[in-house]
Structure 1
């Protein structure tokens, strides 16, 4: 009777094929598990919320306080998992507390006396540094800033251009050359000086509270749309400080903005280079005036080419701005505090 041949054995220390496959599967499983954990809780970012994010607005930024009870962010903007409230007694349940600077200028007594662990505080301002008072003393207080500046944690511009496939070029009928709507006129402002010198060379139609021609509530756009050009002059000059004077008063109205504000390159980060005229494009205001007065129809229409691709979106509702916090929350940095708010804002 023949004896069965023994199974061949691998040399000592050399794993079998089965062991290699098993080890490979184990490594793959461990790697997938690590990737899942990392994607669920990225270091320095907010973990995914399984319950609604509670955002407490300590005081509403404007005098008109809306009714924000209910899931307003979802109802208006389709942002899920966000709950806005103004009930200050819910402080200890809030994940984020929003503090508009206009309500803080009276002092620190406007803030809660204590800050619950893990809660993030947001400082909000749409004003420029020139027009923002009482900034000193806000050291080690706020985790995030929410302003018109693009380097803010939460960027809230006054407006923007959005793609519009059905957009067409539409230039309203023009009856005058230049207009300007002004509510607060101060002779010390640069815009006051520029207007005074520019008006020596051409006539400017003035409207608004600081003029002899105040406008009714719904008269702004119908009035400015009749002008070929609009003086979109900012009250102070700071990086990214581009307000409704550009977005609403001129672009939305269908007139060409003549801007006075940050550098042209900064404007071009918001709107096409051929959609506006910058005061700094000219060596003198006399040259600017001549350019405006002698422009032919063909050249004028080129300023409106952007209308074929875009439309203007205004950010005028504070509910939409506050709800932006919920949309951005997962990507906001955790554990960071601004050591000196005044230093950051004035930089």
Structure 2
């Protein structure tokens, strides 16, 4: 009997603990959860799907790239002298291996070995923002080396963690940036190693075969629930659409009790993409609002790489159009309410012809994609160390009649960042810091 009483006591305590946790969750939800979610209707809004308008000026970039292709290939072929890219401060302490394709980028090595700071082959030194400080910089400054400021966090999150002034960074006088912004000196898109062009080139499935695989409606992955106002608003939208009875499956830390997605396989594994491919829509909502060019792996990898239509919120429509395959996404702010968005997605779910319009980009030529031919991050740094600056033409700031440097130079072209604070904060959208 004593054993039975003890077991009942333990069971009762467990029940009370679960009940207490449930009450806390409900109280938090009532405090933070929405009773309604509406959007301020933008001036370009209209019913249904918007017409895609290219914003990536391929009309002149690709002909220019084609005219320079022979010289580019010759320069890369002759870029055989080994150049070193020294990562002085790694991203959050991680030190993955970065291999550079000499046939596309020239001969370079990425290293974390600080003893190579004085190696005559070291042409670039890279500093990730989270470790920058007086005690963690190079002992001396070699003016012949590119000192590159590296950041993939949104401008709003950067400002929260580093402050309003970026005073130390500005005083250190970095002469190049590597970020997700298209006007960075070195562009590091969240496409990473698996870009849109590669997706098209490797795809062997027809649109009809892809449609046959889609047995589920919508999915999203969110782990940052309430870290900032934008993350909280994101959760309000997702929770609201679920309460409408919309068939959205949520995974990640913000969807307690959903279980493991794809048997716990990460997005580095084929099983993850195969599982996402079963869904028609992927809700690719960012934790920042209208921060310039901030479009993450939620869009590029989770959605596009899985041949799933992204439903997007975070960046501006113009920013999405500048990097997305033509006609590939559904922009949340085109609808005046969550209900209108849900109605449209349900319409597409029942209309195969209309739905497949969003996957037609898979049948296009790679050269019709934004940023076709543009080298990114380590590859573009390597090119610059060999005097190859052709990737400048893809920057929104590139002036083809009066460029700031030649596209091909003997040695490393001079680069400067006058004021890092002005470039980051002053040139971003005001609502990046104030909205929600």
Asked whether the two chains share a fold, i.e. TM above 0.5, the reply is: yes
Shift in Å, 1:224 = 2.2
Counterpart-to-counterpart distance in 2, 1:306 and 1:50: 37
Residue number in structure 2 paired with 1:197: 240
1:307 aligns with 2:362: yes
Q: Verify the 8 A CA contact 2:328 2:358 in the aligned structure 1.
A: yes
CA separation of 1:165/1:183 partners in 2, compared to 1, >3 Å: closer, same or farther? closer
Q: How many residues align?
A: 288
Aligned to 1:208: 252
Secondary structure, counterpart of 1:162 in structure 2? helix
Q: Which whole-Å CA distance do the structure 2 matches of 1:293 and 1:49 have between them?
A: 53
**1:58 partnered with 2:88:** yes
Secondary structure class of the residue paired with 1:303: helix
Q: Residue 186 and residue 102 in structure 1: after superposition, are their counterparts in 2 closer, same or farther (change >3 A)?
A: same
Give, in angstroms, the shift of residue 50 of structure 1. Answer: 8.3
Q: 1:255 aligns with which of 308, 333, 340?
A: 308
Q: Which one has a larger percent helix, Structure 1 or Structure 2?
A: 2
How far is 1:336 from its partner?
A: 4.1
Residue number among 340, 348, 353 corresponding to 1:298 in the alignment:
353
Asked if the contact 1:230/1:258 (under 8 Å) is kept, the reply is yes
CA distance in 1, matches of 2:272, 2:226: 21
Query: Could you report, residue by residue, the CA deviation over 1:271-296 in whole angstroms, capped at 9, with x for unpaired residues?
Result: 24421100011121111111111221
TM-score after normalising by structure 1:
0.74
Residue 148 of structure 1 corresponds to 180
Sort the Cα spacing of 1:310 and 1:194 in 2 relative to 1 into closer, same or farther, 3 A. Answer: farther
The Cα of 1:115 is off from its aligned counterpart by 0.2
> Match of 1:275, SS?
coil
Please identify which structure carries the higher strand content.
1
Report the secondary structure of 2:299's partner residue: helix
**Contact 1:146 1:155 (C-alpha < 8 Å) held by counterparts:** yes
CA contact under 8 A between 1:259 and 1:277: conserved in structure 2? yes
In structure 2, runs of 5+ residues without a counterpart are 1-70, 72-77, 370-375, 393-404, 406-412, 428-436
The higher radius of gyration belongs to 1
Instruction: Specify the alignment match of 2:382 in structure 1.
Output: 326
- CA deviation profile, 1:201-243 (whole Å, cap 9, x unmatched): 2132011233222331245323322221110101112121111
Extract unaligned runs of 5+ from structure 1. Answer: 1-38, 40-47, 314-319
Query: In structure 2, how many angstroms separate the alpha carbons of the residues matched to 1:67 and 1:266?
Result: 30
Q: Tell me if the contact between 1:177 and 1:228 (Cα under 8 Å) persists in the aligned partners.
A: yes
- Report what 1:221 is aligned to: 273
For residues 333 and 340 of structure 2, the distance between their equivalents in structure 1, rounded to whole angstroms, comes to 11
After TM superposition, the score normalised by the length of structure 2 is 0.60
Matches of 1:191 and 1:247, distance apart in 2: 19
Match of 1:176 among 209, 212, 216: 216
- Note closer, same or farther for the CA distance 1:166–1:147 as it changes in structure 2 (3 Å cut): closer
Of residues 117, 122, 130, the one that matches 1:91 is 117
1:298 Cα deviation after fit: 1.3
* C-alpha displacement of 1:73: 2.4
For the residues of structure 1 that align with 2:352 and 2:417, how far apart are their CA atoms? 51
Q: Does the residue aligned with 2:422 lie in a helix, a strand or coil?
A: helix
Q: 1:243 to 1:166 in 2, by over 3 A?
A: closer
1:150-180 deviation line (CA, Å, top 9, x unaligned): 1101111112421746755342522322111
Q: Could you say if the C-alpha distance between residues 81 and 146 of structure 1 is closer, same or farther in structure 2, counting changes exceeding 3 Å?
A: same
Q: Secondary structure at the match of 2:322?
A: coil
Q: 1:223 to 1:182 in 2, by over 3 A?
A: farther
